[in-house]
Amino acid sequence: MTRPILARIEPAAFRHNYLLARERAPGAKALAVVKANAYGHGLMRCAQAIRDVADGFALLEISEAMQLRDSGFTQPIVLLEGFFAEDDLLMASEHAIAAAVHSDEQLRMLELIDIDRPVDVLVKLNTGMQRLGFLPERLPQVLARLRATGKIGNIGVMTHFATADGPQGVTEQFERFHAAVAPTGLPYSVCNSPALFRFFPQVQGEWVRPGVVLYGGSHMPEQESAEQLGLRPVMTLTSRVIEVQEVKVGDRVGYGGTFVADRPMRVGTVACGYADGYPRHAGTGTPILVNGQRTRTLGRVSMDMLACDLTDLQAGIGSGVVLWGEGMPADDVAGAAGTISYELFCALAQRVPIVEG
């Protein structure tokens, strides 16, 4: 028998979530954010699932964009960090791939390059995140320089919110953005998942850019669960109990002996560890589903295994385990591990076999 760990990825759930996200933005188009190999779910798998309905895609690498073009996707594709070198820009122009322009370096590249076809750009403004983009007051100058190159097709403007999922919201950043963009009359894009679900239509834009919700993660798990939002999990990471230990009071479990049994317990060993992408920071008490019953992990996560509490459960060797996904929200596991569902999805290791359906 092969090692029992497996990730099931459901393209139909991804499609469902994409359509649901787009419904939240009437009148806008939705770029499916599929960077990082579609948050660990497989770029082509996810793109195929929405081939006939997708308004467009957003990702980072020109090679990923080319994979989509080579597979016949004709929708707009946006490089969220723009081009890193001249070659990227040549490819983008040749294959009608739009690029964010966020730096003077990129402006200079555009001014110097020799391209036959105009390239579509999204000028990225830094409205408060201090990560990428021009300060809003530079927009007129940047637009003038872009237009002067004679190499630009459609122009849009974008920004990214730092606190769309927090109490500060997006008001301050959006006001700064809007003040700069409104006079230009250009189309724009501002909404990530939390901004889309919380602030549309106060902040709108021709394009929205949902990411995590497409994969069934809540944009604000402490406030609203993915299920409450109508989202479906796309990735379900499953494994099995491969050993059961009868443990006495005072026995310690796992590396460092950090968990001490306070009563006689049955401890299940699950074939899943941090080398599979399970967060090592998930301490005792992280929720886990065994044989359909919710229980908790015990002690430290090992490279290939973790321990869980089977004491009050109908379960034994061979019992099915859901680490996250259907029946065990990734948001709950992420919360217990001090991280976000995004990181769990992206961390799924190469060695975990994937099945679709």
Ligand X SMILES: *Cc1c(COP(=O)(O)O)cnc(C)c1O
Cis, bond preceding 264 (omega within 30 deg of 0): no
Select from 128, 211, 216, 233 the one that contacts ligand X (CB under 6 A).
211
Residue carrying structure tokens 């787009």: 22
Contact flag: residue 133 with ligand X (CB under 6 A): no
Minimum distance of ligand X from residue 75's CB (angstroms): 17
Given a contact cutoff of 8 angstroms between Cβ atoms, the answer to whether 73 and 57 are in contact is: yes
Given a contact cutoff of 8 angstroms between Cβ atoms, the answer to whether 169 and 144 are in contact is: no
> Which of residues 82 and 287 has its CB atom nearest to ligand X in the complex?
82
How many Cβ atoms are within 10 Å of 66's Cβ, its own excluded? 16
Nearest to ligand X by Cβ — which residue?
211
> Which of residues 48 and 163 has its CB atom nearest to ligand X in the complex?
163
> Which of residues 196 and 337 has its CB atom nearest to ligand X in the complex?
196
Size of the site for ligand X (CB under 6 A): 10
* CA-CA-CA-CA torsion sign (136, 79, 213, 222): negative
Contact flag: residue 157 with ligand X (CB under 6 A): no
Select from 82, 210, 216, 283 the one that contacts ligand X (CB under 6 A).
210
> Which of residues 127 and 192 has its CB atom nearest to ligand X in the complex?
192
Let me know if 35 is a catalytic residue: yes
Select from 8, 41, 160, 176 the one that contacts ligand X (CB under 6 A).
160
User: Using the 8-state DSSP alphabet, how is residue 163 labeled?
Assistant: S
Contact flag: residue 33 with ligand X (CB under 6 A): yes
**Structure-token pair, residue 8:** 């099931």
Select from 22, 209, 232, 240 the one that contacts ligand X (CB under 6 A).
209
- Half-sphere exposure at residue 33, Cβ-oriented, CA atoms within 13 angstroms: 20
Is residue 138 helix, strand or coil? helix
Minimum distance of ligand X from residue 279's CB (angstroms): 18
Given a contact cutoff of 8 angstroms between Cβ atoms, the answer to whether 202 and 30 are in contact is: no
d(CA 35, CA 16) in angstroms, rounded, equals 19
Contact flag: residue 59 with ligand X (CB under 6 A): no
With 0-12 CB in 10 A as exposed, 13-18 as middle and 19+ as buried, what is 180? Answer: buried
Contact flag: residue 101 with ligand X (CB under 6 A): no
From the list 204-212, 227-235, 311-319, 323-331, the region that binds ligand X by CB under 6 A is 204-212
Select from 38, 146, 212, 231 the one that contacts ligand X (CB under 6 A).
212
d(CA 325, CA 330) in angstroms, rounded, equals 6
Which residue among 18, 35, 274, 342 is the active-site one?
Answer: 35
Let me know if 255 is a catalytic residue: yes
Site residues for ligand X per CB under 6 A: 33, 35, 80, 160, 192-193, 209-212
Active site residue ranges: 35, 255
